[in-house]
Amino acid sequence: MKLTGDSEGIAELKFIKENKLFYLKFLLNEAKTNTNRSAEFKGRDGKTKYRMTFNDLSGELKIDKIPD
């Protein structure tokens, strides 16, 4: 699975992978099964929000920072 998009968001996902693997699995499942193929999560600071969007055709995940 290829990750593209915001580098800070990708770093947050890697942190989640190392420390909260169950939560990462939940986010991936949510992005794959949600009607709009996306899931939102917050960064470690608790304020910065990111959106993970799954592309069915290419199998890649795009990470975008959600503006305040």
Question: pLDDT (tens digit, 9 = 90+) per residue, 17-63?
Answer: 999 999 999 999 999 999 999 999 999 999 999 999 999 899 899 99
Per-residue pLDDT, 68 = 79
Per-residue pLDDT, 7 = 94
Domain range summary for the chain, segments of one domain joined by +: 3-66
CA distances from 1 to 18, 28, 46, 56 (A): 17, 11, 26, 11
User: Could you tell me the pLDDT band of residue 1, with boundaries at 50, 70 and 90?
Assistant: confident
DSSP string, 6-50: -HHHHHHHHHHHHH-HHHHHHHHHHHHHSTTSEEEEE-TTSS-EE
In whole angstroms, what is the distance from residue 18 CA to residue 66 CA? 23
